[in-house]
């Protein structure tokens, strides 16, 4: 198959990622409780990238191309509920750049302050 980059994600009732909810599942050790957790905290494995496929590295390919190959692999395996975020990343990145231009001092304080303490 290949090497995938992704993570388990739990979602809240509105469909937003919910890290505290996922972390409540994290410490479970008893098999029965782990099985029950899928009822109160279902998770999905969210794939971001396909790093290796068919015995070759895709690391030098553009992310767009790697995502295309990932989508094809998901179709081959009939992966349920495959959704693409194409385009959303660029919009988010542009908003972050715009925010950082307006609030550069705040961002610098957030990044530098903890390192200096």
Examine the domain organization and report whether 27 and 44 are in the same domain: yes
pLDDT by residue, tens only, the chain of 117 residues: 578 888 888 888 888 888 899 898 888 889 999 899 989 988 888 888 889 998 999 999 998 888 888 888 888 877 666 666 655 666 766 666 676 666 555 555 544 444 444
**Sheet holding 43-53: strands in order across?**
2-10, 43-53, 56-57
23, 8 Cβ separation under 8 angstroms: no
Whether residues 53 and 78 share a domain: the answer is: yes
Do 41 and 97 share a domain, yes or no?
A: no
Tell how far CA 113 is from the center of its chain: 27
If one counts the domains in the chain, the total is 2
| The Cα angle at residue 8 between residues 6 and 13, in degrees rounded to 5 | 125
**In this structure, are 109 and 52 located in the same domain?**
no
Residue 58's domain spans which residues? 2-85
pLDDT value, residue 61: 92
Same domain, 18 and 69: yes
pLDDT for the residue 16: 84
The answer on 91 and 73 residing in a single domain is: no
Angstrom distance (rounded) from CA 19 to CA 43: 11
**Whether residue 56 sits in one domain with residue 16:** yes
pTM: 0.58
**Residue 83 structure tokens:** 């959704």
Do 21 and 51 fall within a single domain?
yes
Claim to verify: residue 31 and residue 73 sit in the same structural domain = yes
The answer to whether residues 35 and 45 belong to one domain is yes
Both 96 and 74 in a single domain? no
HSE value, Cβ hemisphere, 13 Å, CA-based, for 53: 19
Same domain membership, residue 97 and residue 48? no
């Amino acid at each position: 198959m290949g090497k995938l980059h992704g993570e388990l994600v739990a979602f809240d009732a509105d469909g937003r990622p919910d890290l505290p909810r996922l972390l409540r599942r994290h410490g479970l050790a008893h098999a029965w409780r782990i099985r029950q957790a899928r009822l109160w905290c279902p998770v999905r494995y969210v794939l971001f990238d396909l790093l290796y496929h068919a015995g070759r590295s895709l690391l030098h390919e553009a992310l767009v191309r790697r995502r295309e190959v990932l989508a094809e692999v998901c179709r081959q395996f009939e992966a349920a509920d495959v959704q693409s975020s194409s385009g959303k990343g660029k919009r988010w990145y542009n908003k972050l750049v715009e925010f950082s231009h307006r609030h550069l001092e705040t961002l610098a304080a957030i990044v530098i302050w903890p390192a200096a303490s």
